[in-house]
Chains A and B, each alone.
Chain A
Amino acid sequence: MVVAERKPIQEIMAMVAEYNKILLVGCKGCVTVCCAGGTKEVGILASALRIARKKEGKPLEIVERTLERQCDPEYIEQASDVIEKDGVEAILSMACSVGPQYMAKRYNIPVYPALNTTFIGGALEHGVWAEFCQACGNCIIHYFGGICPVSRCSKSLFNGPCGGSAKGKCEISPEVDCAWQLIYDRMKDLGKLDELAKVFPVKDWSTSRDGGPRKVVREDMKL
């Protein structure tokens, strides 16, 4: 899933400083799962903003909503009643950055992101998420014991650990596992170490961001 985290409250306060009434809109997709922008987080942020603005003597009216998803036009549409009739001056989106972009495309009022979209990852334990994918557009993890060297090696190396790998940790931090130690251990367990002895050639990054903004077209899905 897309993992995101809320921006610092001071940054959000500054974004909405000039407004008297905003729509704070959450998303029931990925950001709900990673506890950054679901209904609960919308409620918490709304309360925090109201209290802070009241303290400043400039109360902020906040309409709270959580859409099914903010990355689909049909769900974006569901906010039209509030935005077009309720005198909302700006939108503060708690979705990943696709959400505020979709809101901005549909509604002609300023839109602000309340979250930082961090990475594509998974939960390691309750409250801890880590990066597992950089969406390079051509998955190769099967060559590496199911571990992605693009996203999990700090230098995206394809041919083994750099000289900084020590005691299973990456040179950039003792908090970061060396992906190549993980790959080595896994391939050893699988009895496939000899596959790591081959030189992995240069990667074609054109399926990644390096090919420009990407698009997926599924003809069978089109109406």
Chain B
Amino acid sequence: MKSGSRLEKILAAGHFAVTGELGPPRGADVEVIKKKAEHLRGVVDSINVTDNQTSVVRMCSMAVCKILIDLGLEPNLQMTCRDRNRIAIQSDLLGSYALGIRNVLCLSGDHNKFGDHPQAKNVFDVDSMQLIQIVKKMRDEGKLLNGQECEGKASFFIGAAVNPFGDPFDFRPIRLAKKIAAGVDFVQTQCIYNMEKFREYMKRVVDMGLAEKCYILAGITPLKSLGMARYMAKSVPGLDVPDYYLKRLQGVPKDKQAEEGIKMAVEQVQEIREIPGVAGIHLMAIEWEHRAKEIIEAAGLLPRPEVN
């Protein structure tokens, strides 16, 4: 065991893992977190806490992770390179570990141009690959980036994100190989809609022997409506939503589109379970935490296994 986190134990035991996501509030209200968290209790093995996603200021990921720990839930701290230099990153990592956080997801971060403070000075001192190296060095060598010994190791389960649909497609498996070389233990993918392309990606990844070196969790985001599907298809760079889903939602009355979206998500989970090399799913039910349970349940993934 590298970290002893629940997520690591689930994966190491060969169970099909289920992770969820919780977006912190745009404010200081703890109740919002508690409410969202309860919807995920017993439903997922670990909860990603996003780090100012889409560059919008929200309650900090580390604080929300600690609140989840106090609620008896396991968090996965998302950490972006956008807002921190290597000094802040290492400091936040040490602090996170001290608070009981065991899973870290290393991300570049969305560009600040998209967010609520587009005038911000961004950082990008290190990139996500280098962030993985920093966490690994801290864990395996007990050292900071500068070679200095840490007083106490921060033993994290190291995660990262991969996008099988970003261009250039041929480079994507190579980029995963680089993340593995840098020290990643698990990855969560961008939301998958184009199953054919994902299969092709996974085939290459498995052929390269990468699925044996790192746990791959497939990203699922239920489409709540035709409007959301159109937005995801047109306006989210690097996302591939085939026309099939748009047409399918078009044929459904507006008040039934949410149910159809859930049905589609369940189908996606079932398809993904059949793809070699996939170790679990990462359910990103954006502001739909209350519907996570029905998706996971309908996909036959409840109850979650017990691990010690």
Which residues on A are within 8 Å of B, measured CB to CB?
Answer: 154-172, 178, 180-181, 184-185, 193, 196-203, 205
Contact = CB atoms under 8 A, between A and B. Distances in A.
A161 B182 contact: no
A167 B127 contact: no
A5 B262 CA distance: 52
B178 A159 contact: yes
B177 A171 contact: no
A30 B145 CA distance: 40
B171 A196 contact: yes
B149 to A, nearest CB: 19
Nearest to B132: A199
B167 A178 contact: yes
B14 interface: no
Band of interface residues on B? 35 or more
Interface string B132-146: 011000000000010
B178 A163 contact: no
A202 to B, nearest CB: 5
Interface in B257-290: none
20 contacts: A157-B124, A158-B130, A159-B127, A159-B130, A160-B129, A161-B168, A163-B161, A163-B163, A163-B238, A164-B238, A167-B167, A170-B237, A171-B237, A172-B111, A184-B171, A196-B171, A196-B174, A197-B177, A197-B178, A202-B86
B282 to A, nearest CB: 14
A-B interface, 9 closest residue pairs, ranked by CB to CB distance from nearest: A163-B163, A159-B129, A171-B237, A164-B237, A157-B127, A160-B175, A156-B124, A202-B130, A166-B237
B111 A171 contact: yes
A165 B127 contact: no
Interface string B80-105: 01100010000000000000000000
Contacts of A166: 166-167, 237-238
A154 B111 contact: yes
B182 A199 contact: yes
Contacts of A154: 111, 113
